[in-house]
Structure 1
């Protein structure tokens, strides 16, 4: 099979510099992983604070339940833009700078949102929070994939992506108590300031991997042309658009995130208003949902690396199927006990596919455009997050049916299964020297 990124040279380079995947792994890679994980977790807390706070923000600003999805949509619009542009920034300026600016900027505007005077201002500020927060994902993927061997990305990406589920768990465990103590604005102030404070040591601690410099790290030896995926220091977006498997993975993530972040955004409000569940209990349900994913993500990554030869496609299909069935089942429940009992299975399935798709992308594109490709992929994935709050809000407002809302969510992972079926699972990434990694 021919990749859309043609090989630029078939003879062995005389350069003594080793490619990242062939060089002995550095112990510092674990420091990089922890730093990226911490940043991603904090921006995930920033995002997930909205779930348990949404009803109270609506009451405080005079926004009806059916319209609360506008705040989440504003955030995800900024988040999508940030992912698309952030990936380009990562490849041009380096992931270290982009990651720390992303975290500090998101924290600053989280703090501002905690004191917003009106719904209109709040919606705009949520958009700006998302505009900063989305860039740290592609920066983290670029850093991790450059420090770890590509054939063993399942476990580190599994650990990295636990940040989103752990962020959701922390937000749902802590925010209700903060609201009861001193109002919804306190939670935004606390997590916003924490994000700003952590960004400073991360900037001093992180460093980009050798051989993964910014502004396109294509080979510069005499007589070796640059990878066609990089033109004049800029990624060739047309080449990405012709990469069939990359596009299918983008579509798969779009539908999978429809179900995932639709649940994260709406579960609290639906349980509170649909079944009279207390805010504390609703937060507990979503916390258990998210905590189970903290175990599931690295476990899925480890198993696929160790026992499945790094396979991504078949495990993804199985997990997405369980996710869809669990959402339908959850929608038929009505008691707090039942919600709590099902939430571990739902959480494991809702998040378990994420390290597989995240690790898929670096294997489908040259290493020189990993940041751009990851950012654009996540931007497409997050479009599902942009649309689903409005869709679920409209369905629940029109039908008043808790079950109908969850059937709407379950449609996402079902379509994701169909999208990933044609992906050719044996595709591997070409490095900048034209070899297969």
Structure 2
């Protein structure tokens, strides 16, 4: 069935204000992405200070993502129930406070626990942001909007890898957690003071069955396939972010600062690539399935290619191409969600989908750590990463992005 959408513009003050909402949602998501990405360049130093073996460093990342997954699931429900503004504020405030606490950690057990708590707060901002943006922008506009919004994950990696190694050299890894935690708290205050929900409402045209929210979403075949495919994509993306610094440092003797620069280049290209991909998809009828499949295919190939490299120069040359493939499927997948569910379920659908996507982030640090520990092979680690987007590509073939019959209206 075709998708039915209104074309009523969001005019005047409302039209200008929605860009402020996008800016603040993006800023919040950027800071939680910085908080998450700080672990990559800091992990070796935290491990040295807390006497943690290399193979066990992935436990910290996994602890974070366990909290993050739980937070995404409940953050989605909470955003639909209590509103995106409140959940966004709570998410940023809690993440900031416990980032600062982690910066004062003196034991592995405490550090793992605090990482899980940081993730528990940080994960809620994603669904809250999607909920707010879907209330201010119509579905036909969301490719570009989600492209801008999801640049946060790339920019967070750029900032962390550009700043953290230098901060560690001058002040220690603890300072990076204190600084980013404090900034996250400031963003929480701004979100609470400025952000409000918007007037765009999306409803099913056909009569709904009387069933629970979870059952309704579980019966949505395309949403389920999208969640499974995103798991594979995130397996590759966040596996690379979590392990690439350590693999280059330990596998090829790359300095920590240089490794951070390589990962920063990897992520920087996606800051431009994500909005461009989303905008192009919007201009060409809003099709998002085929571009997603193509990008995931390129991601598989570039991961395998990166795993075969052996020099710092080659890493720098390959990094931007890998970064585009590793990130640019994300805004397309995110923009599909409001097209598959009505607006009353947008937060829940976004939260549950991302929670499942993030399971890839939970499991991949342990999987790659185990493979590298067993083989000491850079290539084996990257083949493990490439398996995720390959599975995601195959699952995306079954998604029908225009199956739902929806009506969109802008309330006055």
Coarse TM-score class (shorter-chain normalised): over 0.9
Q: Which of 22, 26, 29 matches 1:40?
A: 29
Q: Which of 265, 268, 271 matches 1:288?
A: 265
1:218 deviates by 8.1
- Please give the alpha-carbon distance, in whole angstroms, between the structure 1 residues aligned to 2:246 and 2:59: 14
- Asked if residue 420 in structure 1 is aligned to residue 409 in structure 2, the reply is no
Per-residue deviation, residues 118-141 of structure 1 (Å, max 9, x unmatched): 000000000000000000000111
1:199 deviates by 1.1
In structure 2, the residue matched to 1:15 is none
Q: Does the 8 Å CA contact 2:85/2:197 hold for their aligned counterparts?
A: yes
1:402 deviates by 0.4
Matches within 5 A, 1:311-350: 311-350=287-326
In structure 1, the residue matched to 2:213 is 236
Q: Does the 8 Å CA contact 2:134/2:200 hold for their aligned counterparts?
A: no
- Please give the alpha-carbon distance, in whole angstroms, between the structure 2 residues aligned to 1:211 and 1:353: 25
In structure 1, the residue matched to 2:252 is 275
In structure 1, the residue matched to 2:10 is 24
Q: Which of 384, 390, 393 matches 1:408?
A: 384
Q: Which of 393, 398, 405 matches 2:374?
A: 398
SS at structure 2 position matched to 1:424: coil
Q: Which of 166, 184, 190 matches 2:179?
A: 190
In structure 1, the residue matched to 2:66 is 77
Q: Which of 145, 149, 156 matches 2:145?
A: 156
- Asked if residue 141 in structure 1 is aligned to residue 127 in structure 2, the reply is no
Structure 1's 74 and 20: CA in aligned 2 closer, same or farther, altered over 3 A? farther
- Asked if residue 355 in structure 1 is aligned to residue 306 in structure 2, the reply is no
1:245 deviates by 0.5
- Asked if residue 377 in structure 1 is aligned to residue 353 in structure 2, the reply is yes
Structure 1's unaligned 5+ residue stretches are: 8-18
Q: TM-score, normalised by structure 2?
A: 0.95
Q: Does the 8 Å CA contact 1:168/1:290 hold for their aligned counterparts?
A: yes
Q: Does the 8 Å CA contact 1:90/1:98 hold for their aligned counterparts?
A: yes
Identify which of structures 1 and 2 has the higher relative contact order when contacts are C-alpha pairs closer than 8 Å and 6+ apart.
2
Per-residue deviation, residues 58-79 of structure 1 (Å, max 9, x unmatched): 0010000100000000000000
- Please give the alpha-carbon distance, in whole angstroms, between the structure 2 residues aligned to 1:44 and 1:275: 27
Q: Which of 165, 168, 173 matches 1:176?
A: 165
- Asked if residue 66 in structure 1 is aligned to residue 42 in structure 2, the reply is no
Q: Does the 8 Å CA contact 2:203/2:407 hold for their aligned counterparts?
A: no
Structure 2's unaligned 5+ residue stretches are: none
Alpha-carbon RMSD: 2.2
Q: Which of 241, 261, 265 matches 2:242?
A: 265
- Please give the alpha-carbon distance, in whole angstroms, between the structure 1 residues aligned to 2:167 and 2:49: 15
In structure 1, the residue matched to 2:229 is 252
Q: Decide which structure has the larger Cα Rg and report it.
A: 1
1:246 deviates by 0.5
- Please give the alpha-carbon distance, in whole angstroms, between the structure 1 residues aligned to 2:362 and 2:404: 31
